[in-house]
C-alpha cells in the first residue's frame, strides 16, 4: 500500500444507550471503554481510533465534531499527540453524509484528490494488524474507483446491527456490494449467518474524495451545494475550522448508506475480522470487556459475592452486590443505574423520559470541560456551592466578575497567578484568597503541572450565567461556554 490516506474521523455523535457513562456533553467517543490491558494507558475510543492508524501511510487527519465538544476534542487530540489534525466543527448534527461531504470538499481545497478513510470515532477494534490488512485491501479497490465499505465478519446472528450483502469476488481484495439491509429479526439474522453472504455493517468506508462527491452530485445535489457553501465560508477559530452555520443547516440530513452507498454505480465491500464492536450499548460493552471466571466485567471499586454475568462500573464509591446475575450496575458521582443486561438497549427510552421531565443528568457530565481545564461540583446548598477546579499548565480563565456571588479559592497543588482588581499576586499550595462580589478577577496557571484548587461560592444566585467577561484568551463570548 503506497498511496497516502487521509483519515476522516466522525466524532460528532451523542449516543444515549450508554447513559450515565455517556452524556450529550460527554458522549462515548470520549470515554475509555473496552479491554485495554494492565499496562496500557487508558485511552478514549477517539484516541484508540487514531492510534490504530499508526504505521499506515497517512496525511493529517480531518476530525469532524460538534461545536459543543470542541475543547474536549482539542484536548483529547493533544493527549494523543495528534497536532496536525483539522478540527472541522459542525454547528449541529446533520448525519454522516453531509459530514463526509464537508471533509471531502476540505480535502480537495489544495487541488488534490486523496483517498479518504472514513472512521467513526466510537468503535472498538481489538486486532489492529487485521484491521490494517483490511485497510490495505480496501486501498486497492478505492484507488481503482470503487466506493468501499468494510463488512464485519459476523460471529453470531446479531439483531442489533444492519447488514451488507456481498456479491461476486473482486480479485483477492473484496466483493461487489449488493445491498444494505436493516436490522433483521432473529430468524432473518440466522438465515444471513447461515448463507455466508452477509456481513455486519461497520459504518467504515474508503473512497477517492472526488468519487464520493460525484455520486453525491448525481443523487443529492442540494446536499452537496449546501456543504460546498459551508466549506467555502468556513472560518478559522483558534485550533478549529468552523463550517458556515447557516449554509450547513440548509443541508438535508441523511446517512451515507442511504444518500450514496445504496445507489452507487460502483461499490465494494471488504471483509473485516478484527474483533470489532460499535459499543452500541451495555450488552456490547460487557461482551468487549475482560471478565472474571463468573463472567463479571468490573471497573472501579467493586466487591461481588455469588454473582455472575454482571457489568459493574464504579466511579466514586464502593459498589457491592450479592447473589444477582445478568445485571448492569453503573455508579457515577450523580447517578446510579441498575438494569437487566438483556434489556440494556432500552436505556435510551429511560433517557428520553428523563429529558422529558427536564432532568439535566442525561445532558451534563459531573466534570465540565473548558478550554483552560475543567471543574467538578462537589457540594451544593441553598446559598453555597463547592467546586474542584483544574487549570492546565498555561491555562487562564477569562477576566470576569460576578454580580451575585463571592468566591473563596484554596490552592491544593500547583501555583496560581491571581488578578484581583488592580493587584496581581501568586498563590502556592495551602494558600487562599477571597473574591468579593462585583470585583474583576482572573485565574491563571503559570506552572508546568496542573493547578488544583477548591472554590467555595456563596451568594443569592450561583448559576454559570452570572459571568461578565472583559477579556478571554479563547475567543468566547456569552456566559457559560
DSSP element (H, E) containing 217: helix 209-219
Residue of 227, 229, 234 whose CA lies nearest to 212: 227
DSSP element (H, E) containing 419: strand 416-420
Domain chopping of the chain, boundaries: 5-277, 290-356, 368-471
Residue 61 carries which DSSP code?
P
Buried b (16+ CB within 10 A) or exposed e, 148-157: bbbbbebeeb
Cα–Cα distance, 153 to 163 (Å, whole number):
10
Helix (H, G, I), strand (E, B) or coil at 334: coil
Cis peptide before 20 (omega within 30 of 0): yes
Cα–Cα distance, 444 to 368 (Å, whole number):
18
Cα–Cα distance, 403 to 391 (Å, whole number):
23
User: How many CB atoms sit inside 10 A of residue 287's CB?
Assistant: 16
Q: In Å, what is the CA distance from 392 to each residue of 134, 376, 449?
A: 39, 14, 7
Q: Which residue has the higher pLDDT, 391 or 366?
A: 391
Q: What is the pLDDT of residue 1?
A: 61
- Sequence length of the chain is 481
Q: What is the pLDDT of residue 370?
A: 85
* Fold (CATH) for 5-277: Spore Coat Polysaccharide Biosynthesis Protein SpsA; Chain A (3.90.550)
Cα–Cα distance, 469 to 478 (Å, whole number):
8
CA angle 303, 304, 306 (to 5 degrees): 160
What CATH number labels 368-471? 2.60.120.10
Kindly report the pTM of this predicted structure.
0.86
- Identical fold at 5-277 and 368-471? no
> 473: Cβ–Cβ under 8 A, 6 or more apart, which residues?
371, 372, 396, 398
280-303 per-position pLDDT tens digit: 899 999 998 999 999 999 999 999
- Mean pLDDT, the chain, rounded, equals 92
Q: What is the pLDDT of residue 480?
A: 45
Cα–Cα distance, 259 to 255 (Å, whole number):
6
8-56 per-position pLDDT tens digit: 999 987 767 899 999 988 899 999 987 654 445 579 999 999 999 999 9
Lowest mean pLDDT among 174-178, 211-215, 469-473: 469-473
The answer to whether 4 touches 59, Cβ cutoff 8 Å, is: yes
Instruction: Judge whether residue 253 has pLDDT over 90.
Output: yes
Q: What is the pLDDT of residue 330?
A: 97
The answer to whether 234 touches 244, Cβ cutoff 8 Å, is: yes
φ, ψ of residue 291 to 5 degrees: the values are: -130, 155
Amino acid at each position: 500500500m503506497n498511496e497516502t490516506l487521509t483519515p476522516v474521523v466522525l466524532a460528532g455523535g451523542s449516543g444515549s444507550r450508554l447513559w450515565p457513562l455517556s452524556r450529550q456533553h460527554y458522549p462515548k467517543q470520549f470515554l475509555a471503554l473496552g479491554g485495554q490491558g494492565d499496562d496500557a494507558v487508558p485511552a478514549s475510543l477517539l484516541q484508540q481510533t487514531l492510534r490504530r492508524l499508526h504505521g499506515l501511510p497517512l496525511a493529517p487527519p480531518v476530525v469532524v465534531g460538534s461545536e459543543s465538544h470542541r475543547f474536549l476534542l482539542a484536548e483529547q487530540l493533544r493527549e494523543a499527540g495528534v497536532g496536525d489534525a483539522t478540527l472541522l466543527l459542525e454547528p449541529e448534527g446533520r448525519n454522516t453524509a453531509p459530514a463526509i461531504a464537508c471533509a471531502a470538499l476540505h480535502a480537495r481545497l489544495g487541488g488534490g484528490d486523496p483517498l479518504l478513510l472514513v472512521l467513526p470515532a466510537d468503535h472498538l477494534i481489538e486486532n489492529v494488524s487485521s484491521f490494517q490488512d483490511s485497510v490495505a485491501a480496501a486501498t486497492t479497490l478505492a484507488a481503482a474507483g470503487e466506493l468501499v465499505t468494510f463488512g464485519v465478519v459476523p460471529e453470531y446472528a446479531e439483531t442489533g446491527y444492519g447488514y451488507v450483502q456481498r456479491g461476486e469476488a473482486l480479485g483477492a481484495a473484496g466483493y461487489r456490494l449488493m445491498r444494505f439491509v436493516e436490522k433483521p429479526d432473529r430468524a432473518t439474522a440466522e438465515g444471513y449467518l447461515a448463507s455466508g453472504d452477509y456481513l455486519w455493517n461497520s459504518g467504515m468506508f474508503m473512497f477517492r474524495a472526488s468519487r464520493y462527491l460525484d455520486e453525491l452530485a448525481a443523487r443529492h445535489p442540494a446536499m452537496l451545494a449546501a456543504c460546498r457553501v459551508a466549506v467555502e465560508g468556513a472560518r478559522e477559530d483558534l485550533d478549529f475550522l468552523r463550517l458556515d452555520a447557516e449554509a450547513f443547516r440548509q443541508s438535508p440530513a441523511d446517512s451515507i448508506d442511504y444518500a450514496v452507498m445504496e445507489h452507487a454505480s460502483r461499490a465494494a465491500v471488504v471483509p473485516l475480522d478484527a474483533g470489532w464492536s460499535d459499543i452500541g450499548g451495555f450488552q456490547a460493552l460487557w461482551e468487549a470487556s475482560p471478565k472474571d471466571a463468573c463472567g463479571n466485567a468490573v471497573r472501579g471499586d467493586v466487591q461481588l459475592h455469588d454473582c455472575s454475568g454482571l457489568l459493574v462500573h464504579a466511579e466514586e464509591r464502593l459498589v457491592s452486590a450479592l447473589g444477582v446475575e445478568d445485571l448492569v450496575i453503573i455508579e457515577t458521582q450523580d447517578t446510579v443505574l441498575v438494569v437487566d443486561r438483556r434489556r440494556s438497549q432500552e436505556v435510551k427510552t429511560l433517557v428520553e423520559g428523563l429529558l422529558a421531565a427536564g432532568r439535566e443528568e442525561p445532558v451534563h457530565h459531573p466534570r465540565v470541560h473548558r478550554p483552560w481545564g475543567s471543574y467538578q461540583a462537589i457540594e451544593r446548598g441553598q446559598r453555597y456551592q463547592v467546586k474542584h477546579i483544574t487549570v492546565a499548565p498555561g491555562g487562564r480563565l477569562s477576566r470576569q466578575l460576578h454580580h451575585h456571588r463571592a468566591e473563596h479559592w484554596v490552592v491544593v497543588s500547583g501555583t496560581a497567578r491571581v488578578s484581583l482588581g488592580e493587584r496581581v499576586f501568586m498563590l502556592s499550595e495551602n494558600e487562599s484568597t477571597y473574591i468579593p462580589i462585583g470585583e474583576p478577577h482572573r485565574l491563571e496557571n503559570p506552572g508546568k503541572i496542573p493547578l488544583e484548587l477548591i472554590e467555595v461560592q456563596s451568594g443569592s444566585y450561583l448559576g454559570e450565567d452570572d459571568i461578565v467577561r472583559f477579556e478571554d484568551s479563547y475567543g468566547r463570548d456569552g456566559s457559560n461556554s
